[in-house]
Amino acid sequence: MEATREPVTAQHYVIEADLEPATHELKAKVQARVQALETVSTVEFELNPNLFPTNVTGEDGRPLSVQRDSSGLKLRVSLGRPLPKDQTATISFELEGQLADAEHSPVEGVQLAYIGEEGSYLLYPARWFPVSGYATNRYTAELRVTVPAGFQVVSGGKAQPSAPQGNKVQYSFSFDRPQFAGSIAVLAQPPEVVQAEGQTMKVYFAQDRREMARAYGEAAAQMVNFFSSKFGPPPVANLSIIEIDDRSLGGYAGPEVIFLASRAIGSQLNTRLLAQEVAQQWWRGLVSPATRADLWLDHGLATYSEALYLEHLGGEPALQERLREMSIDALLHDTIPIRGAGRLTEFSPAYKSLLYDKSGYALHMLRWMIGDEAFFKMLQQFANQFAFRGAATEDFEKLASQASAQDVGPFFIQWMDSTGASDFKAEYVIYRVQNGYRVSGKIEQDMDVFSMPVEVEIETDGEPVLQRVQVTGRASEFNIETRGRPKRIIVDPNDRVLKYNDKIRLRVAIARGEQAVVQRDYTAALEEYQKALDINRLSSLAHYRVGEVFFTLRNYQSAANAFREALNGDLDPKWTEVWSHISLGRIFDVTGQRERAINEYQQAVRTKDDTQGALQEANKYLEKPYERASREAEGSG
């Protein structure tokens, strides 16, 4: 897939920002030095639609013409004269506006920047200053932020002494190496300073979460050391971890800073999210995508790094559990290649499915295919060779081929530039031979470009035999000899390859339905759940999800039927039993059948399954009947 590079690159920013928390206002002066990679007359930037340029000038002070597109995000600055290839120009902006909520955010419904008296944060994705080549264009920067006295500014970069300015204070930071500078927080509370594992972590959590600060600081230090052993040294080992509100992303990492939403911090350490954000200090902070076709090098590497850390903590079972989740999420939106996902809405379900989960699973397949030694050698070389630079998929592929001494080109064509996953089937014949048995057959699958080894396990009346078979194209032959009599053949028994089978199709359909529910598209949700039931009529999870939809729609008879079917199904996962009883109890309470409701709650308690606080919930309704909120209170319209 052809990767498109921007015709202009921003080399250096000088940003002077003045924040007024009481009025949510930002005023800024920005100088952007850009270099033409080809002769241009205009330069494009992205700027938060809530911010407005009041003056834009060239190096000689003359005003420059600015056009804003219909989305309000993109600015096109006319230079007035051609800027020849390799030449630089400095464009100066004055801008102002309010950052008070998620309205007109660059990512719909997600608050990426907020200025207020309870605390402020400006994330790089908010584009709170004019950004050229978003997510791909690295730059050096000088950042000067003025805030009212009593607040402090937290940022990565080299900090200068703060400078009082009347009833305000200016904080200054410099970034001497090209990065994605510009993710900052403005806070009143001091940090919890955590010394652990030879690192110093500053944790800025709300007062009611201060007890979690040490746990997060210590875990982050451990993660830095683990990832350093796998990838080499990070840009900076000491980090600031900052709590932000629940209207923002669950987590985001900038240079030397990690932002976590309150909902993500929780009452127990969120190891998975923290590991992913710590890993972004390498896979974004140190090395970043050269083009939007390479975005998987950011999100995918961080997601798989999280899986590696889980493997470090819990061994192979922990890794396999995470991979099972990734395999389902990877197939939810598999109609676009990974390298085409940069065109999708940022942080949307499809964007995350491809650039986080499918990319992460592809890295796991590559690791298995070339072996641990070559894989981790390649990652260290990648981090070292492209430190503080953008890297392309072709760069990563080349290093993987060199480290493993094999051509991985077909692998990248298949998993980065193509869609779909295989559904393996095996046909075989068993022959009696002198020393035992020979199994001769072929593996069939439906992807023409497929070319990688696949494990085949033959269960026998003795020890099982496991062997790699090179599968290329739609059908590949194999011959495997065993001592014991063959009883069964399993293709890819250890889930080394992203694939379809009935169990995975079932979970994918249910997951798609769950996403439709989040979007309140209940018709689409029921259609997906029905697809799951077409695969397995006894799926308790699918029946349970159907019941939830009908309950939401206040169709209590259909909801009750679905929860009964869940109880009569395969009870996979086990929690569907206790929660189906609770759900039936709620239905009977709502419909005035208290005795039947009590019976269901009692059956829930007898399961002794406390998944997600089920027993407390059942006992609560045994004491007092469930009362459903009004439609207006539920926000269902």
Q: What is the mean pLDDT of residues 177-186?
A: 98
Which pLDDT does position 637 carry in this prediction?
Answer: 40
Distance (Å, whole) CA 498 – CA 479: 24
Q: Is the pLDDT of residue 72 over 50?
A: yes
pLDDT exceeds 90 at position 262:
yes
- Looking at the predicted structure, is the pLDDT value of residue 349 above 50? yes
Whether the ω angle into residue 337 lies within 30 degrees of 0, i.e. cis, is no
| pLDDT, tens digit, 9 for 90 and up, residues 304-314 | 999 999 999 99
The pLDDT assigned to 292 comes to: 96
Quote the pLDDT of residue 633.
52
Question: Is it the case that residue 571 has pLDDT exceeding 70?
Answer: yes
What pLDDT does 16 receive?
A: 98
> Tokens 């009977």 appear where?
588
| Spatial separation of the C-alpha atoms in residues 114 and 123, rounded to whole Å | 9
Per residue in 431-462, pLDDT (tens digit) is 999 999 999 999 999 988 899 999 999 999 99
Pick the residue with more confidence: 334 or 270? Answer: 270
Q: What is the secondary structure of 27-67 as a DSSP string?
A: EEEEEEEEEESS-EEEEEEE--TTEEEEEEE-TTS-B-EEE
**Whole-angstrom Cα distance, residue 207 to residue 431?**
71
- pLDDT tens across 371-403, in order? 999 999 999 999 999 999 999 999 999 999 999
Mean pLDDT of the chain: 96
pLDDT value of residue 216:
98
Q: Which range, of 12-16, 126-130, 500-504, averages the lowest pLDDT?
A: 500-504
pLDDT at 635 over 60: no
Residue 99's pLDDT is 98
Q: Give percent above pLDDT 90 in the chain.
A: 96
Is 109's pLDDT higher than 50?
yes
> What pLDDT sits at residue 2?
54
DSSP-derived secondary structure for 333-351: TTTS-GGGGGGSPTTSHHH
Where does the pLDDT of residue 634 fall: very low under 50, low under 70, confident under 90, or very high at 90 and above? low
- Residue 302 clears pLDDT 80, i.e. is over it: yes
- Strand extents, DSSP E, 494-571: none
Are the CB atoms for 187 and 166 separated by under 8 Å? no
pLDDT tens digits, residue range 460-517? 999 999 999 999 999 999 999 999 999 999 999 999 999 999 999 999 999 999 999 9
What is the rounded distance in angstroms from the CA atom of residue 254 to the CA atom of residue 277? 9
Q: In the prediction, which pLDDT does 209 show?
A: 86
Tokens found for residue 558: 């259909």
% pLDDT > 70, the chain: 98
Q: Where residue 323 falls among pLDDT bands split at 50, 70, 90?
A: very high
Taking the C-alpha atoms of residue 324 and residue 205, their distance in angstroms, rounded to an integer, is 32
Beta bridge partners of 258: 241, 253
Question: What is the rounded distance in angstroms from the CA atom of residue 501 to the CA atom of residue 490?
Answer: 12
**pLDDT level of residue 5 (50, 70, 90 thresholds):** confident
pLDDT at 211: 86
**For range 104-122, the mean pLDDT:** 96
Determine the pLDDT at residue 8: 96
pLDDT at 131: 98
